[in-house]
Amino acid sequence: MKKRLIVGLSVFLVLFLMAGVVYAANPIKIIINGVEVKSDVAPFTKNGRTMVPIRVISEYLGATVTWDAKNNAVIVTTPTPKSEAIVSFFLMSGEDNMADRIYLGELTSDKYDTDSVFNEYGTYGSKYSSKSIWNKYGSYGSKYSSTSAFNDYATNPPIIYGAAEKGMLYIGRLSTNISIKNSYTVDIMYEFLVKSGY
């Protein structure tokens, strides 16, 4: 009797450990429109349901996610009303006074567009331009500047606007500072532009 119990427990333990190895070898992937999206929080399956991080998916699709502690709610907000068609996206510096803001280039996936922030040879995409988010020593690209897109603690990062038929629409901020409402990283914004055909 004791032998059967020991053998049974041993078999159970071996199978349990092997299942853990198989699970770790096949992590759950998040794939949106054919593109694998990496997340700092791993998806998992619990009680037959797959749980995925809503922030990564929402931000990839162009929405923002905020936590409302007072109401104990996760709030997902799309960047614009669906009825308003955006023709293009562009960046402005984040000064409070609109008259003091500086044009920082167009947000387009076309790396040959002369105004694109992703054109490394253009005015707004060159790492040597004072108006470029890629200038690591400039106001908009330094990880130490309060107006930079790459400072995790920036207070006034560049503003993303959408140009629509009825005028400019505020979209959010281009920033790695996740505590800023409606902030999008450069990578997420670029993926959104490619996916949306901008």
* Residues of the chain falling short of pLDDT 50: 7, 9, 20-23, 82-83
pTM of the model: 0.55
5 domain-assigned: no
Q: What is the pLDDT of residue 21?
A: 43
Q: What is the pLDDT of residue 22?
A: 44
Q: What is the pLDDT of residue 3?
A: 60
Query: What is the β-pairing status of strands 73-77 and 44-46?
Result: unpaired
119 domain-assigned: yes
1 domain-assigned: no
180 domain-assigned: yes
Q: What would the pLDDT profile of 31-73 be if each residue is shown by its tens digit?
A: 876 677 778 888 888 888 888 888 877 777 777 888 888 988 8
State whether 183 and 145 are in the same domain: yes
Report the domain count for the chain: 2
State whether 148 and 185 are in the same domain: yes
State whether 173 and 91 are in the same domain: yes
175 domain-assigned: yes
Q: Which residue range is the domain that position 183 belongs to?
A: 86-196
